[in-house]
Structure 1
Amino acid sequence: MQAVLLQAIFPTARTMRSAARNVSALAELTPYLGFNRARQPTRPTLSNTGFIALNAIYLKKTMTTVTAATISEMTALTPETVSQSLLAATDEGWLINCPTGVILLPEGAEQVLAYYRDIYADVRIDPSLIGWYQNFELLTTLFMATVSKCQRLEDVERIDRCLLQAAEKLVKNIGQLVAQIPRYVTYMRRLERSMDCIHSGLRDFVCKPTVDSMLNIWLEFHEDLLTVLGRPRGTT
């Protein structure tokens, strides 16, 4: 009886070796069994060009699929560069190709967000950018209120002038950020292009969702800036 008690209290070397083997085997199986293990943040493996292409898809919140032509229009990447980036992302399992375009999978979105976190870590804590963002939110509130009036067809010419003035102000203000975030120059060019279309009488470029309208560009820039700052949508 005493020997049994001693064995229970003081396991033999053989028993301890067996237990160690079991623990080691369990550790190897942990990823497959779904046991909680500290999850490491995704590290971005995207190139700069790959990020620009996938980010264009990520920002198109109102579209189920996005075409290569749309990505090229949004980013100024050549069609060949876009095609190569999409092919590489599909091979990585970040995209699904559909007849109407591509869909960004959660793994692809995770890569985009990881790139934001890695590249813009210092920008996120820059007081000047935070102040710029607060002023931008005030301008956005005014812009969206004017768009609502535009959709109700109230005094269209006057409203168009107000929208164009807001867009011109945003283009000028974005210019202040280009030194920190050079790719933002594409938003300036897109807004200027949509304003030229409106001046030519093409009112679809005010807020139509199927063209590169002022409203689409504004919403995408808003989402982009929030993600740069690491802020959820709806915060100020």
Structure 2
Amino acid sequence: MNAEQHLVLHGLAIKKYALPDAIASLLGLPEERVKAILEEGAAKGTVMDVGGKYAVSPTARVSLRSNYGRFYSSLRSSQEFREAHLAFEKVNIDLKALITDWQTLKVGGKLVPNDHSDEGYDEQILKRLAKLHVNAEKALNALTAVLPRMGIYLQKLEEALDKAEDGDIAWVSDAKTESYHTVWFELHEDLLCLLGEQRKE
């Protein structure tokens, strides 16, 4: 497995189930090159076709994880990237709390699912998200300065925030779209894999 093949499998693992265009967009690689690597992987059994989309095979996941240290040793030793990651993790704590508040609200002292009928409540959360995004942007810019492909995440986060602020609230946390929370989750997973760290719940 070479570095480019590992990167494509990494992108596929982040997306879980995806078509070549989604992986190419995430990684900043030509779609045709990504497609060729995935097709080659399918022939070798490292990639599976799941309902018309690609997924990393169980055996390939083992190889994928074991090779992160080989391909990203310099990144892992980068003080600038480590510091940027720490800044990201601080914002992550705030985002987790914000998403909880977005998805639930207190009624009679109890937490219940937010049906988003209270526009005032939702507007307060959206204002918090906009403020949080300022710090997220700083962390992403620092990450991108070391690893340029991180910039796509900032672009996707800004697009999701803009759509949410324009009234389409599904773009805050809907798992069926590239919502702010969906993109953030993928970004977090990307960083953890690159740095060999575990998600803290």
Q: 2:177 aligns with which of 174, 195, 211?
A: 211
Structure 1 residue 106 and structure 2 residue 72: aligned? Answer: no
Give, in angstroms, the shift of residue 212 of structure 1.
Answer: 0.7
1:96–1:133 Cα change, 3 Å? same
Structure 1 residue 91 and structure 2 residue 43: aligned? Answer: yes
Q: TM-score, normalised by structure 2?
A: 0.80
1:31-46 equivalence runs, <5 A: 45-46=1-2
Asked whether the 8 Å contact 1:209–1:216 carries over to 2, the reply is: yes
Give me the identity figure in percent. 22
Asked whether the 8 Å contact 1:178–1:184 carries over to 2, the reply is: yes
1:78–1:161 Cα change, 3 Å? farther
Gaps of 5+ in 1: 1-44
Structure 1 residue 123 and structure 2 residue 75: aligned? Answer: yes
Give, in angstroms, the shift of residue 77 of structure 1.
Answer: 4.1
Of the two structures, which has the highest relative contact order with CA contacts closer than 8 Å and spacing of 6 or more? 2
In 2: Cα distance, 1:228 partner to 1:222 partner: 10
Q: TM-score, normalised by structure 1?
A: 0.69
Asked whether the 8 Å contact 1:226–1:233 carries over to 2, the reply is: yes
Matched with 1:68 is 20
Deviations for 1:110-143, whole angstroms, at most 9, x for unmatched residues?
A: 3433442122212223334333333322211111
Give, in angstroms, the shift of residue 218 of structure 1.
Answer: 0.9
RMSD of aligned alpha carbons: 2.4
Structure 1 residue 156 and structure 2 residue 108: aligned? Answer: no
Gaps of 5+ in 2: 105-113
Secondary structure, counterpart of 1:103 in structure 2: strand
Give, in angstroms, the shift of residue 213 of structure 1.
Answer: 0.9
1:143–1:157 Cα change, 3 Å? same
1:187-206 equivalence runs, <5 A: 187-206=153-172
Matched with 1:33 is none
Matched with 2:6 is 51
In 1: Cα distance, 2:181 partner to 2:199 partner: 17
Task: Give the stretch that moved more between structures: 182-191 or 99-108.
Answer: 99-108
Asked whether the 8 Å contact 1:46–1:115 carries over to 2, the reply is: no
1:46–1:166 Cα change, 3 Å? farther
Asked whether the 8 Å contact 1:147–1:163 carries over to 2, the reply is: no
Structure with greater strand share of residues: 2
